[in-house]
Amino acid sequence: MGGAAGTIGVVAKSRFTITTSAGRRATINENPSTKYQKGAQSISPNTLTKGQSVLVLGTTASTTISAAQVIVETPTSRMFVTSSQVIPFTRGAPTNLKQTGQIPADWTQGSGTIVGGAAANAATKAALATYPGGIVDRVVKFSAGKFNVHVIGVNWPHHIFVSHKFKVVGAE
């Protein structure tokens, strides 16, 4: 599971594009089981329009997301605001190796189990609310119910760490 937050660009039948705050583009493929909401209300997919801010949760393959859920931002929710902390991807630029917050002491790269479902969606939502701009391609659960949200399409952060209560605790 994964996803991205961004602004809707082109809207076509069964698909649309978004651009993240870091300038990454993603193609969103809709399917009959995709759920749509604006705030707490269910909405029709026909209400999606260019310029709306959305969070898309689903299965990610590079920059294409098969949408399970599309959440349209409301003026009061403002959950996908831009982040000056995210470093947009620049081809050939070195990855920034900084760390912020708490990197769990028991985490090692490659450890854990890839997860999906409600837990992966909640971890993705928390990560993108704090560090919007990239595309989440997987969520890994490791010890004590902690999560490593793996982000592509930005030079930093690459790993966002989320607690078992779905609060971001650190990034690298």
Verify that 68 and 99 share a domain, yes or no. Answer: no
Q: The domain that contains 47 carries what CATH number?
A: 2.40.50.320
Using CA atoms, how far apart are residues 155 and 32, in angstroms rounded to an integer? 34
Using CA atoms, how far apart are residues 155 and 165, in angstroms rounded to an integer? 27
Q: What confidence tens digit (pLDDT) does each residue in 98-144 have?
A: 888 988 888 888 889 999 999 999 999 999 988 888 899 999 999 88
Nearest CA to 61 out of 141, 152, 133, 154 is that of 152
Residue with tokens 């831009």: 82
Using CA atoms, how far apart are residues 130 and 127, in angstroms rounded to an integer? 5
The residue type at 71: I
Q: What confidence tens digit (pLDDT) does each residue in 30-77 have?
A: 999 999 999 789 999 999 999 999 999 999 988 999 999 999 988 776
pTM reported for the whole predicted model: 0.82
Query: What residue numbers bound the domain in which 101 lies?
Result: 95-171
